[in-house]
């Protein structure tokens, strides 16, 4: 969107006031009215169109801004559809069930809180959805904690930490794909670069949960029921690992994410068809409608009934509307006016990283919506990172470290409201124990200050910056 420059910029006070009013409207609808974000974003679009008319801009120019803004997300939209297909095909082939079964096998050991964190992390990566992980596996683990008389706040903190590790690092996650696409970074390069902050955060979190874990092992019928339900579905088979191996192999070979996801989906569908999981017509139909599980366990059915292009339409429509609003912010000069004022002080590694992190955190707190924190911050800071001689993948990493994982820590956010509802634990109770979500922004800010693990925008893309310039 950076090419959407108006002929005349508004004053910085006028631009800031309009941005605050728009964010205020979105915040009120999401937090107070608890509306889906689509509605207030559309109202924001109408407000910005009205502002454009007030500035004597033609609707043709305003429409051009919306179209150009939405166009920047087409790569993400196509990937989102493929993610829906991959999830449904991996369900049918047993790839996701076999990963879940392995995770549940781990859950019966000692170090309950640490294992809870690891299990939800594995399931989160397999599903690519923090919501689904928390609402299914998370609820079961809360039940285990109650039977063991373990702190529910600590258990919820471990569940949230693991679920958002998966949401952050899974190639199936919509936020992961969005963060990489909005700043034009290869998906797997983005995931690899996030390891610099994510792996240390995971290790520290795991150790902290080992220390806090009770001594007794977790023994619960709920975990056994999950595994029995998975076995009853008849999806677990040695061939279920093949689609995962294909995806890993293509990733190592540095093939584009679109090609990797498509190839793995086709392989998974063929495996499911040859094994007779579904008829060929029904099997290809799952690419749009998703996979539907039929076992005697309603909980397992909810866990396995997922995927399809249809399941991604909510996210796709939200992304298109948010990017259209972003295009209007640029074409009317609102964001360029603000950036012009502050970018003179954001030319260093330290200032660019800190400003990005605090902007993403601030949008999460103000609006309670992680998609907008990624979209607006990502679009606004691309030029600043270029001037600071930082590769774009540093920006996409910071967007996730300070955007994706912060949302569940905000009581009035979309994630916060959902998680506190399904887990039965208030956000402020589990917040001190959501170690992974707390450590991720701390580490990205720390690396921003020191310049460690940051990649310069030069031919030496793989070498970390050695010096920070203030």
Record the tokens describing residue 416, joined without a space: 């916060």
Q: What confidence score (pLDDT) does residue 346 get?
A: 63
Q: What confidence score (pLDDT) does residue 285 get?
A: 93
Which residues are CB-neighbours of 406 under 8 A, at least 6 positions away?
360, 361, 364, 365, 370, 373, 437, 441
Tokens 């004022």 appear where?
A: 341
Q: Spell 438-463 as b/e; 16+ CB within 10 A means b.
A: bbbbebbbebbeebebbbbbeeeeee
DSSP single-letter state for residue 256: -
- Domain ranges across the chain: 75-312
Which residues are CB-neighbours of 401 under 8 A, at least 6 positions away?
194, 197, 357, 440, 441, 443, 444
Q: End-to-end alpha-carbon separation of the chain, Å?
A: 28
Record the tokens describing residue 398, joined without a space: 């910071």
Record the tokens describing residue 320, joined without a space: 């298109």
pLDDT surpasses 80 at 256: no
Average pLDDT of the residues in 167-177: 84
Average pLDDT of the residues in 419-429: 82
pLDDT surpasses 90 at 375: no
Least Cα distance to 303 among 86, 90, 91 occurs for 91
pLDDT surpasses 50 at 462: no
Percent of the chain whose pLDDT exceeds 70: 87
Q: Which residue has the higher pLDDT, 449 or 299?
A: 449
pLDDT in tens, 17-38: 998 898 888 888 877 887 888 8
- Label residue 242 by pLDDT band (50, 70, 90): very high
Q: Which residue has the higher pLDDT, 97 or 457?
A: 97
Q: Report CA 331 to chain centroid distance, whole Å.
A: 27
Distance CA 254, CA 189 (A): 9
Query: What are the C-alpha distances in Å from 112 to residues 9, 72, 136?
Result: 57, 44, 17
Distance CA 6, CA 340 (A): 13
Percent of the chain whose pLDDT exceeds 90: 20
pLDDT surpasses 90 at 270: yes
Distance CA 210, CA 313 (A): 40
Average pLDDT of the residues in 428-443: 93
Least Cα distance to 318 among 379, 261, 369, 377 occurs for 369
- Bridge partners of 456, per DSSP, are 390
Query: C-alpha dihedral over 243, 462, 446, 444, to 10 degrees?
Result: -30
Distance CA 80, CA 318 (A): 12
- Label residue 109 by pLDDT band (50, 70, 90): low
CB 394 within 8 A of CB 454: yes
Measured in degrees and rounded to the nearest 5, phi and psi for residue 334 equal -65, -55
DSSP single-letter state for residue 11: P
Query: What are the C-alpha distances in Å from 37 to residues 33, 54, 68, 317, 322?
Result: 11, 26, 21, 10, 9
- Label residue 451 by pLDDT band (50, 70, 90): confident
Average pLDDT of the residues in 407-427: 80
Distance CA 386, CA 381 (A): 9
Which of 146-150, 151-155, 458-462 reaches the highest mean pLDDT?
Answer: 151-155
Average pLDDT of the residues in 341-348: 66
Q: What confidence score (pLDDT) does residue 49 get?
A: 95
- Label residue 3 by pLDDT band (50, 70, 90): low
pLDDT in tens, 280-306: 999 999 999 989 888 777 777 877 887
pLDDT surpasses 90 at 269: yes
pLDDT surpasses 50 at 195: yes
Helix pair angle (139-148, 112-127), 10° resolution? 170
């Amino acid at each position: 969107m950076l090419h959407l420059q108006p002929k005349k910029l508004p004053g910085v006070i006028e631009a800031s006031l309009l941005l605050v009013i728009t964010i205020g409207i979105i915040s009120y609808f999401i937090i107070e009215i608890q509306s889906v974000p689509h509605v207030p974003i559309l109202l924001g679009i109408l407000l910005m169109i009205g502002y454009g008319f007030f500035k004597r801009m033609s609707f043709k120019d305003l429409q051009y801004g919306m179209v150009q803004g939405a166009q920047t997300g087409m790569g993400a939209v196509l990937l989102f559809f493929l993610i829906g297909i991959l999830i449904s095909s991996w369900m049918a082939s047993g790839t996701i069930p076999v990963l879940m079964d392995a995770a549940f096998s781990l859950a019966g050991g000692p170090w309950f809180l640490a294992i809870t964190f690891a299990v939800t992390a594995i399931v989160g990566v397999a599903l690519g959805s923090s919501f689904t992980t928390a609402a299914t596996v998370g609820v079961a683990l809360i039940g285990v904690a109650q039977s063991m008389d373990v702190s529910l706040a600590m258990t919820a903190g471990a569940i949230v930490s693991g679920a958002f590790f998966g949401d952050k690092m899974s190639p199936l996650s919509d936020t992961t794909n969005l963060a990489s696409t909005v700043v034009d970074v290869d998906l797997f390069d983005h995931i690899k670069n996030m390891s610099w902050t994510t792996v240390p955060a995971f290790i520290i979190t795991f150790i902290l949960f080992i220390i806090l874990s009770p001594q007794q092992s977790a023994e619960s019928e709920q975990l056994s029921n999950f595994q029995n339900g998975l076995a009853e579905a008849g999806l677990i088979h040695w061939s279920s690992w093949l689609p995962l191996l294909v995806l890993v192999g293509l990733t190592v070979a540095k093939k584009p994410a679109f090609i990797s996801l498509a190839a793995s989906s086709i392989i998974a569908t063929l495996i499911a068809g040859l094994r007779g999981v579904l008829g060929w017509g029904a099997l290809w139909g799952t690419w749009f409608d998703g996979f539907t599980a039929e076992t005697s366990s309603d909980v397992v059915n909810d866990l396995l009934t997922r995927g399809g292009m249809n399941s991604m339409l909510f996210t796709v429509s939200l992304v298109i509307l948010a990017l259209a609003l972003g295009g209007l912010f640029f074409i009317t000069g609102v964001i360029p006016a603000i950036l012009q004022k502050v970018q003179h002080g954001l030319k260093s590694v330290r200032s660019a990283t800190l400003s990005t992190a605090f902007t993403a955190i601030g949008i999460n707190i103000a609006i309670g919506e992680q998609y907008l924190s990624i979209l607006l911050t990502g679009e606004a800071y691309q030029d600043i990172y270029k001037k600071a001689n930082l590769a774009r993948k540093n920006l996409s990493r910071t967007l996730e470290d300070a955007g994706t994982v912060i949302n569940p820590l905000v009581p009035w956010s979309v994630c916060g409201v959902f998680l506190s509802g399904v887990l039965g634990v208030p956000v402020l109770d589990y917040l001190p124990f959501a170690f992974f979500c707390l450590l991720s922004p701390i580490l990205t800010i720390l690396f921003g200050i020191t310049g460690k693990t940051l990649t310069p925008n030069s031919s030496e893309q793989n070498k970390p910056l050695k010096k920070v310039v203030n």
